[in-house]
Each structure stands twice: as C-alpha cells, then as structure tokens.
A and B are shown apart, each in its own frame.
Chain A
C-alpha cells in the first residue's frame, strides 16, 4: 500500500499507483500548464502543452504529463530549454486562431510567445475538446461534437440534440479557454441554421 516515489523538478514526490505525472505534480504544488485537461474528464493528450521530460534508466524522453503514469524512480523535469521551446511554439500556433484568449495570452507572456508569429486565421476554437468531452462524459448528452478532420476539423452542435438540451445547460461555455466565444457562436449558428 506504499506510494510510488519519483522526482519532479528535483523534489521527491510520493504518488499513488495509477496517477498521472500531472496529478502527482499538482498534488505537490508544481505547476504544469494545460489547455485540454479537466479534472472531471478522461485525459485527452491533445494540446501537448503539458509536455515534460522524463528520465528512465538513463534515457530521456518527452511525454505529455496528463497521460503518462507515475513510475517508481522516475525523474521528471517540467521545464527545460526544449520544453519551453515546444510550449512557445504550441502557443504561437494557437494564438493564430484565438489571439485574444486570456488563458493563451497569460501563457504567451510566460513563454515569450509572439502572438503575431503566424498569419491570423481567427476561428477562436483551439480544439481542446473540453466542450465536446464534457457534454459526452459528464452530461452524457453528445450535443456537441467534432466534424471533419485535420485542419478542417471544427466543433459543431448537433441541432436535434442541442435544441432539446443546450438552453438549460450551457455548462460547457465557461470551460471554453477562448471565452466561450466559439461555443456560443456555433450554438447560435446551429439554431439559426435549423430555423431557416
């Protein structure tokens, strides 16, 4: 019943079997940035901003902390030149779509990300999937989902379900890291689309 001992940023951390690195770090007050993580939802591993370095038997590799399980004796670094470089780039890529999202701007300041590095294609959505997964996993309604794939991927409300479920719920709105703009926008669009 003893815990798993590992090292995060030089600190000895005790974690329980089945915990992720992110959970173990947060328990100790070690901050790792996340965008697609939510405590109530299954780890999704899509934004990749929680990437960390782990050293296991002398080998270093990059893993995402929201999915990687704790292991005895693991050495974890939550910041390094490489990690910062990757996080900065991820932020810059996302800022092209949601340049005014507060969460992204705060992180951009921390990592020195340039919001104008890439040409703007404001779609507001950063595809974190929080709304989609919350609706599916917590509310079990599946009123919002992803459509299409790759760079054409977007979130879309299912009009038939949304018309029944969404007006009295809207619990996904505050989850949206881009200030619910997109969620609201798509919702309205779905409804108007249905009326016409």
Chain B
C-alpha cells in the first residue's frame, strides 16, 4: 500500500475503495466484541466462513467481523446487509440455515429473530427493534459496519476525512470548533474539552502530549472497551486532530492490560495508519508529525484519575499528584498534556466533519451530544446504549432497556460507577446530563448505569461500592484511606445487624471529611453511594440499625428462612436440595428449618414450587417456633402434591 500524501489523494483512494464495493452485495456482519466472543461468536464466525465456502458463495458474500453492536444480552448477533436483517443468539448450528435460506433464498429464519417480550411480535430489522430504535447512535453506530482490523473499512465510511479537514483548517479553528461544540469530557469530570485544549495550546512549552484515557475500571461498564475494540481508528483520528490542535507530536493510549482485544485492535490500527501516512511523519503531506504509543495499564482503578494515570505513564506507582496546576498546563513529565477519555476522542471526528452546530442540536443546554451508557443490572435488555443527552432515566430504562425482568419493581438506578449515586423511582424523569445528575446527588461518570430492583438492599449497595473503592484506593492520603476504612466498617456492621445508634451521624461526618479533604477525585467522590442512599433511602438504614431488619430481605445476617406449616405440602424438594441438611421432615411430614444449621443460602426459597410458596424470608421479627412434631404429619393429603 503506497502512502497517502495529501487530502486529495485520500479522497481519490476512498473513491477507489468505494468503487470496488457493491453496496448491494450481501454482507454478513458478525459481532465479535468481547461480550459476543464470550457467548461463542468465534465458533459462529468459523462456521459462517466454512458454510459460505461449502455453498459456493465465497465470491458473492462479504463476511465482516465487527466490534460490539451493543445488545450484548442477545449475542452473538448477526446482521445481514443491505436489508439489515438481525439475528440474535446465533449458534454455529444455525449458520447453514442462515446461508441457505436468508442469503440464497432471501427468506427469514424466524427462530433467530428478536421477539418483542410484550407483544410476542417478531421483528426483522435492527432499526425497528425498540432497543435500537430509541437510541441515537452517533458515535457507537459505526461499530456494526466495520471490521476494526481493517483501515479500509474505516476509510470507506468516511474515515480520516475529519483529519484532512482539520489539517486544512489549521489548529486555531479546530480548537474553536471544539469549544463551540461544548464537548464535555466523557470520562467523568465533564470538563469542556475545548477549554482544556486551548490551555495546552497556549502553554509556551515546545513538548506537549495528548493522551487517551482507556483505563476504564467501573464495575459493569465497558463502553470504552467496545469503542476501542470496535472502532479504533475513530479514536486515533480524534487523537491526531487533538494533537494537531494543541501542537503535540506524541500521544499515548493508556489502556488496561485486561482489555486484550482492545490492545490488539488499537495496535493494528496504529500500524495501518502509519503505513497509510495518516500517522507518523508528514501526515497527509501537511508537514505535521505525530506518533502514538500504546501503554498497558496494570489494572488499578485509581489510574483512571488523570494525574495518577500520568504518574503511571512515567513509570512510577499510580498515585495522584498533590497539585493545583491543571495537567493541560503541567502534566506528563511536567509538560502540557491533554488527557481525554476514549469516548470524548471518538466524538472529535464527528464534530469536525459535521460541525459544532450539528453537534449542539443534540442534548440539553449544558450537556451536548450523546452519551454511551452501559446498561446493566436488573434490566431486561443488558447492553451498551447511546442516547442524546437529556433523555430521561425512565426512557432509557423502560423504552430501551425494556424494564425490570421477572415482574419485579424498580427500586434504584446507580449512575456514574462506584463513585456515583443511587437515584430512586421519584427521580426517574430526571434528564441525563452532567449537571442534572450531579444535582441529584449522583454523577455522569463514564456512563455506568446499574439498575436495581426491589430485592436490592441499598445499605448493602453502599457497602459494596465502598468495599470496591477501599480496595482500589491508592492509600496515599488519610481521608480516603482511613475515612473509607471506617465507613466500610460501620456499613458492614449495619448490614450484619451490629449497627448502633449514632452510626448514621458518624457516617455523615466521615463522608464530609473524605469528600472535602481527599487528595484526588477517587476519595472526593467515594462517599457518593453512601450519601445518595442516605438521602433517598434513609429509612432502610434506620430499619437495619433500629429494628435489625433488612427491608429488601437481602442482608444474610438479618434474615431467616421459614417454612409456613400451613402451606408446606411435604414435597421433599427443599429438603433434598438443602446443602446444609438443615431441613427436617419427610414424606407426609411438614418440613421445618433448623435455624441453627441454616446457612441462609436461599436454596429452599428458590426451589419451593411456586404453587406452594411455603418458604418465606423473615426479617426484623422472631422466627415462629417450629410446629410440634406430633402435628407435622399431613394425613391423606399426599395427592395434592
């Protein structure tokens, strides 16, 4: 492949590519992101290749292994273009049918279609499935159309046109356009990217750096991974534009070691871009030089904090710096450094291509564009969703997410990762945006969204997140290390029924000191799950402390299992399944749980047939005494079993 030496050559090359590509040629795209890979997309892929060959279609069908499509709940996902026929949970054995029926005969394989859980209606096209229909996939949408290992695929959808335009515009205009777009950092801080860039651009130093923060570490969040895996060139293009804008010639991609596919794909992307002259010396003949290195992070959550990340990049232990000078002025190796999150960088080419005015039509007054959320937890449609800023939590959870499974009630949604907050049902009509979420006691964070149902104990949720953060704190400053140690102890005690009068006040005092006095954002935001649950679910804390009762019937130490003798039909199911041999009884003998032996694993509760529903969870009240042995015999009722 010869180098591309000018914007004109880039366009000519693109036209050449497109002229060889027939948009009407059948194309089978297979999601090969990490989630689909885990559910078997590699075997499906191999089978597709084999079957296409076997059926003699090698020249008539394009097979494209793409990045994440987002609907991970239903993976592996196969989409057949140009029609956009969407098949879910495809197994290798489904492949012959797909090839012989859909590709050859243009027929639909019914059993692989999405079925609307409410109406039982089968839906054929991706664009009509509620999960996709209600999204606005500006950044994430390309994932489904390109092979992330192919730079030609990215060029065919208009890739690197924004870079060519930026080079033509000159750095000042690029900074102005990003400022005008009001693009705010997608990694958590929400700081306006344009202002960050401008600060670095105006700094007098010769050497400057641009950095991609791909140290995504929130439990359950994987939007950055999916972007980096699925569309690495978009991030590279954004980064190169940023480097040009601030006058940097060296960039870093700080990506977690635990993301092997992301590392692989971005590394290939860098090699290819260098080969094409889109990276390296004299990019597109402009005289601008820029190189990018991939740095694999060792997996410390705190390294997502910008100064800790830079310290780690310098080769030292990833601890935040105690400083009051922004890193865009004095960052990596003391030089001006613009660090933005993966998703922020991925927005840059879009803004340059389509303009700030186009971008600002999406979103709320102060939060523009879209945001990708990782919608997980007790939600029907688990996956990655991209929505315009300003969509309500209710629309995201119900219209896109399909609501809460199993007929359970919604209880709370945790946004912003472990340092975010839990929002209750009353706030479901809140519009998602940086300031809106912060005002409600949560935050945007990098886009984690964990849905919780009525069985979730909010005290335990706060304990869980604090446990996570206590483990991930670097331990340098006192308020974070010691404040969290004590908060975690108190919360653990409360969930174990050892809560005392005054605990809530002490938690509030500790939370204040931790958030006011900690060195970095990890400590400053660590009390958020605690404070938001105290704010919205205070009565649960009080029930745990005063009544030793867990209202969600979730905290093991505060609940007991009890078999209602009126309902027990002595079916022996729970008795046989109990791993602790804690259930006494027999055929026609009402079962009784020995509370001493019971480990509260819940097996009896789950295994009792719903038509009996004899096992109950009890909290905050004494377990009724076991029914006297002479009354346990069920006479002549055995048929009812």
> C-beta contact mask, A118-130 vs B, less than 8 Å → 1, else 0?
1100000011010
In angstroms, Cα B470 to Cα A152, docked, is 9
Contacts known (A67-B322, A69-B324); A47 close to B513, Cβ less than 8 A: no
In angstroms, Cα B518 to Cα A45, docked, is 10
**Does B479 reach chain A (CB closer than 8 Å)?**
yes
Segment touching B, from A5-13, A25-33, A86-94, A185-193: A86-94
Q: A67-B323, A149-B300, A152-B475 are in contact. List 12 more A-B contacts (CB 8 A).
A: A44-B322, A45-B323, A47-B478, A67-B324, A68-B324, A82-B516, A90-B482, A118-B486, A150-B471, A150-B474, A150-B484, A153-B475
Is the beta-carbon distance between A89 and B477 smaller than 8 angstroms? no
- Residues in B neighbouring A148, C-beta threshold 8 A: 475
Is the beta-carbon distance between A89 and B481 smaller than 8 angstroms? no
> C-beta contact mask, B445-478 vs A, less than 8 Å → 1, else 0?
0000000000000000000000000111111111
| Minimum C-beta distance from B303 to chain A (A) | 11
In angstroms, Cα B513 to Cα A63, docked, is 13
Within 8 A of B (CB), among A124-166: 126-127, 129, 146, 148-153
**Does A48 reach chain B (CB closer than 8 Å)?**
yes
B interface majority secondary structure: helix
B residues engaging A (CB < 8 A)? Answer: 300, 302, 317, 322-325, 470-479, 481-486, 489, 509-510, 512-513, 516-519
| Minimum C-beta distance from A15 to chain B (A) | 15
- Residues in B neighbouring A69, C-beta threshold 8 A: 324-325
Within 8 A of B (CB), among A45-78: 45-49, 51, 62-64, 66-69
**Does A85 reach chain B (CB closer than 8 Å)?**
yes
Contacts known (A89-B513, A146-B317, A149-B300); A48 close to B477, Cβ less than 8 A: yes
Is the beta-carbon distance between A94 and B517 smaller than 8 angstroms? no
In angstroms, Cα B192 to Cα A163, docked, is 52
| Minimum C-beta distance from A99 to chain B (A) | 14
In angstroms, Cα B479 to Cα A129, docked, is 15
- Residues in B neighbouring A118, C-beta threshold 8 A: 486
- Residues in A neighbouring B519, C-beta threshold 8 A: 45-46, 48, 64
Q: Residue B470 contacts which of A68, A89, A129, A150 (CB distance < 8 angstroms)?
A: A150
Contacts known (A63-B324, A127-B476, A149-B475); A119 close to B489, Cβ less than 8 A: yes
Is the beta-carbon distance between B322 and A85 smaller than 8 angstroms? no
- 6 smallest A-B Cβ distances: which pairs? A45-B322, A153-B475, A93-B482, A150-B473, A89-B513, A150-B475
- Residues in B neighbouring A51, C-beta threshold 8 A: 517
- Residues in A neighbouring B471, C-beta threshold 8 A: 150
- Residues in B neighbouring A49, C-beta threshold 8 A: 478
- Residues in B neighbouring A46, C-beta threshold 8 A: 322, 476-478, 519
Is the beta-carbon distance between B486 and A64 smaller than 8 angstroms? no
| Minimum C-beta distance from B126 to chain A (A) | 44
- Residues in B neighbouring A94, C-beta threshold 8 A: 478, 482
Contacts known (A48-B518, A51-B517); A90 close to B470, Cβ less than 8 A: no
**Does A174 reach chain B (CB closer than 8 Å)?**
no
**Which residue of B302, B325, B472, B475 has the most chain A CB atoms within 10 A of its CB atom?**
B475
User: What are 18 A-to-B residue pairs whose CB atoms are below 8 Å?
Assistant: A45-B519, A46-B519, A47-B478, A64-B322, A69-B325, A89-B483, A89-B510, A93-B483, A93-B485, A118-B486, A127-B475, A127-B481, A146-B475, A149-B474, A150-B484, A151-B470, A151-B482, A153-B474
In angstroms, Cα B519 to Cα A68, docked, is 12
Interface residues contributed by chain A, number (CB under 8 Å): 36
Contacts known (A118-B486, A119-B489, A146-B317); A151 close to B517, Cβ less than 8 A: no
**Does A103 reach chain B (CB closer than 8 Å)?**
no
Q: Residue A127 contacts which of B472, B478, B483 (CB distance < 8 angstroms)?
A: B478
| Minimum C-beta distance from B487 to chain A (A) | 11
- Residues in A neighbouring B481, C-beta threshold 8 A: 127, 150-151, 153
In angstroms, Cα B300 to Cα A97, docked, is 26
- Residues in A neighbouring B516, C-beta threshold 8 A: 62, 82, 86
- Residues in B neighbouring A146, C-beta threshold 8 A: 317, 475
| Minimum C-beta distance from B559 to chain A (A) | 26
Q: Residue B473 contacts which of A62, A68, A89, A151 (CB distance < 8 angstroms)?
A: A151
- Residues in A neighbouring B478, C-beta threshold 8 A: 46-49, 90, 93-94, 126-127
| Minimum C-beta distance from A20 to chain B (A) | 10
In angstroms, Cα B470 to Cα A126, docked, is 17
Q: Which residue of B has the minimal Cβ distance to A64?
A: B322
In angstroms, Cα B195 to Cα A133, docked, is 35
- Residues in B neighbouring A48, C-beta threshold 8 A: 477-479, 517-519
| Minimum C-beta distance from A91 to chain B (A) | 9
In angstroms, Cα B486 to Cα A44, docked, is 23
Q: Which residue of A has the minimal Cβ distance to B489?
A: A119
- Residues in A neighbouring B324, C-beta threshold 8 A: 63, 67-69
Is the beta-carbon distance between A86 and B517 smaller than 8 angstroms? yes
| Minimum C-beta distance from B582 to chain A (A) | 33
| Minimum C-beta distance from A149 to chain B (A) | 5
In angstroms, Cα B513 to Cα A44, docked, is 19
| Minimum C-beta distance from B543 to chain A (A) | 24
- Residues in A neighbouring B509, C-beta threshold 8 A: 85, 89
| Minimum C-beta distance from B311 to chain A (A) | 13
- Residues in A neighbouring B482, C-beta threshold 8 A: 90, 93-94, 96-97, 151
In angstroms, Cα B509 to Cα A195, docked, is 47
Q: Which residue of B has the minimal Cβ distance to A154?
A: B475
**Which residue of B317, B323, B479 has the most chain A CB atoms within 10 A of its CB atom?**
B479
- Residues in A neighbouring B484, C-beta threshold 8 A: 150-151
- Residues in B neighbouring A97, C-beta threshold 8 A: 482
Q: Which residue of A has the minimal Cβ distance to B321?
A: A45
In angstroms, Cα B482 to Cα A89, docked, is 10
| Minimum C-beta distance from A70 to chain B (A) | 11
In angstroms, Cα B472 to Cα A148, docked, is 10
Contacts known (A68-B324, A90-B517); A47 close to B477, Cβ less than 8 A: yes
In angstroms, Cα B322 to Cα A126, docked, is 18
